[in-house]
């Protein structure tokens, strides 16, 4: 009899667990995918400069002030490296930033992550990967943004950038871009890189391109971009940041 009672209680417990509502996802002000160029055009020194730029930006006091200024006082960040066709890789999964300590944790995870293996230059597939990452995020947010940086145009995507962009915008996601301009590399039709990104990469409400005029201005450019994204600030479609900018 005791054994049957134990079985009954086990069954009832399983039924109760199945009937219980799922745990509610944590609400944040913004879901942000930082989508970083790790393609073959980025050598080891440039790659390190980019990673350090992102890490410094995430822990910058201006970014943290913008985070704290939101209704939830928190954002969730994931970091993707892109390059090869269908090869985009999530190198830092979703982490919540709400204060200096949590921002430092994201920065440390980025610096410690091994560099993914990438070739050239599939921006459309990177956008597609980032969209799926946002759609399966373990957090809820009113705003969802992909922040893509790169030093070259889309060349080898299985899903072209314009198609991936349009599908992503249709899902309610905004795509912004940071064009690293220093080598004379332009778009697929010879236009300036920032113009290529403006026409074929960005999209959604308030979408914009920040132009980093050379690698020395990268950290400043990403900080300016993150402040605008985290705070949801309006502004021009294209912004240039120079090495001497504040």
In a domain, residue 4? The reply is no
Predicted pLDDT of residue 111: 95
Distances (CA, A) of 44 to 49, 108, 129, 154, 219: 9, 18, 24, 21, 17
Number of domains the chain contains: 1
CATH number at residue 93: 3.40.50.410
In a domain, residue 38? The reply is yes
42: pLDDT strictly greater than 70 = yes
pLDDT in tens, 180-233: 887 555 555 668 899 999 999 999 999 999 998 877 788 889 999 999 999 999
Q: Residue 40: which pLDDT band, with cuts at 50, 70 and 90? A: confident
Question: Mean pLDDT in the chain?
Answer: 85
59: pLDDT strictly greater than 60 = yes
In a domain, residue 13? The reply is no
In a domain, residue 109? The reply is yes
Closest to 176 in 3D by CA, of 242, 223, 237, 112: 237
Predicted pLDDT of residue 190: 66
Signed CA dihedral, 175, 222, 84, 86: sign only: negative
Predicted pLDDT of residue 242: 66
Q: Residue 50: which pLDDT band, with cuts at 50, 70 and 90? A: confident
Q: Which residue range forms the structural domain that includes residue 86?
A: 25-241
In a domain, residue 220? The reply is yes
Predicted pLDDT of residue 12: 39
- How far is residue 4's CA from residue 207's CA, in Å, rounded to a whole number? 63
Q: Residue 243: which pLDDT band, with cuts at 50, 70 and 90? A: low
Least confident of 15-24, 40-49, 71-80, 122-131: 15-24
Beta strands 75-82 and 89-97 are antiparallel
Predicted pLDDT of residue 21: 41
- How far is residue 210's CA from residue 229's CA, in Å, rounded to a whole number? 12
pLDDT in tens, 119-169: 778 999 999 999 999 999 999 999 999 999 998 888 889 899 999 999 999
In a domain, residue 145? The reply is yes
Q: How far is CA 222 from the centre of its chain?
A: 12
Extract the tokens encoding 244. Answer: 């001497």
In a domain, residue 6? The reply is no
Could you give the percent of the chain with pLDDT greater than 90? 59
In a domain, residue 43? The reply is yes
The stretch 100-116 carries a mean pLDDT of: 95
11: pLDDT strictly greater than 50 = no
**Phi then psi dihedrals of residue 99, to 5 deg:** -160, 180
The label of the residue with tokens 């020194």 reads 45
């Amino acid at each position: 009899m005791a054994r049957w009672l134990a079985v009954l209680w086990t069954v009832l417990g399983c039924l109760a667990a199945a009937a219980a509502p799922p745990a509610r996802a944590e609400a944040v002000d913004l879901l942000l995918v930082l989508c970083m160029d790790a393609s073959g055009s980025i050598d080891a020194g440039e790659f390190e400069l980019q990673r350090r730029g992102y890490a410094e930006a995430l822990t910058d006091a201006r970014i943290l002030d913008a985070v704290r200024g939101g209704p939830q006082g928190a954002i969730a960040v994931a970091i993707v490296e892109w390059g090869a066709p269908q090869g985009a890789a999530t190198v830092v999964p979703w982490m919540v930033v709400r204060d200096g300590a949590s921002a430092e944790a994201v920065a440390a995870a980025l610096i410690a992550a091994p560099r993914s293996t990438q070739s050239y230059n599939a921006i459309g597939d990177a956008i597609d990967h980032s969209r799926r990452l946002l759609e399966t995020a373990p957090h809820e947010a009113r705003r969802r943004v992909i922040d893509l940086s790169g030093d070259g145009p889309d060349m080898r995507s299985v899903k072209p950038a314009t198609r991936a962009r349009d599908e992503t915008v249709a899902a309610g996601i905004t795509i912004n871009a940071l064009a690293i301009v220093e080598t004379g590399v332009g778009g697929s039709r010879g236009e300036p890189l920032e113009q290529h990104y403006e026409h074929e990469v960005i999209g959604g409400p308030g979408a914009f391109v920040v132009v980093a005029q050379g690698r020395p201005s990268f950290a400043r450019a990403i900080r300016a971009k993150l402040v605008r994204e985290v705070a949801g600030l309006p502004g021009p479609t294209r912004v240039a940041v120079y090495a001497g900018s504040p």
